Amino acid sequence: MSDTRYFSFLRIGFIAIGCAWLMGCSDDAERERLTQEQEQRPVEELYREARDMLGQKTYKEAAEAFDDVERHYPYSEWAARSQIMAAYAYYRGTMYDDAVITLERFLEVYPSHPSIPYAYYLIGLSYYEQIADVGRDQGNTRKARKALRDVMRRFPNTDYARDAKLKLDLTEDHLAGKDMMIGRYYLQHKEYLAAANRFRAVIEEFQTTSHAPEALHRLVEVYLLLGVKDQAMRYASVLGHNFPETEWYERSYKLLGKAPIKAKKKDFIDRVF
């Protein structure tokens, strides 16, 4: 390659680099200009714009716009309101992890704000919406359970607590279903002690769910297979007292080959343990 051609390539390279640098500077300058314009706009205008985006269901953009309000006016009365609205926008846009992060920050920064009950409630909903099929990991289900119970404990006389109770019942039924599925697997593979542990977990932690009758029946079945008939009779008695109209009641006493046993009237917990 001749020197003339070589230096021509160099000049082209320098020109390209120079143009890229100038464009980068131009982009930075434009971003700085837009930021300054945002900071100069009234907070009410920024908030209204974010709310309009929410109304148009552009949830990600709305959340970011609410975040901008809080960032540009951190010490205004609009800051906390914008933070909770950003979390709501993330929630509506199914960006649940972002919603939880935003809400946890809200709880930390504004611990005495009137919207604190709503923030705890929305954390519970964000986990609740991520509950997976019982065949999959139940990490979010357990988080939903904890968050919903937190709402009920902290704010017992609110609409949030009442709705949390309904959702908690469904959440616990889901977790019980997971334990039942695993317990049946162990039972099928003749791992009887492991199966018993799962079925006991259902009646200890989730005794008010729809899975409790089957869990008691499975314990009857397991203890008969283990040759511990007294324990089987004990669980059959509890089943007969609490759920006499279920198919699991009939199945258990067919296994035992006996007439139904009537248990003494006690609290459910006392009858189980």
Q: Is residue 210 part of a domain?
A: yes
Q: What is the pLDDT of residues 114-130, one digit of tens each?
A: 999 999 999 999 999 99
Answer yes or no: is 173 within a domain: no
Range of the domain at 199: 190-273
Positions of the chain with pLDDT lower than 70, given as ranges: 1-40, 258-273
Q: Model pTM?
A: 0.76
Q: Is residue 171 part of a domain?
A: no
Give domain status of residue 232, yes or no: yes
Write out pLDDT tens, residues 241-251. Answer: 999 999 999 99
Asked if residue 31 is part of any domain, the answer here is: no
Quote the number of domains for the chain: 1
User: Does 246 fall in a domain?
Assistant: yes
Q: Is residue 262 part of a domain?
A: yes
What is the reported pLDDT for 135?
A: 74
Using one digit for the tens of pLDDT, what is the confidence trace for 186-235? 999 999 999 999 999 999 999 999 999 999 999 999 999 999 999 999 99
Q: Is residue 13 part of a domain?
A: no
Looking at residue 41, its pLDDT comes to 78
Distance CA 86, CA 103 (A): 9
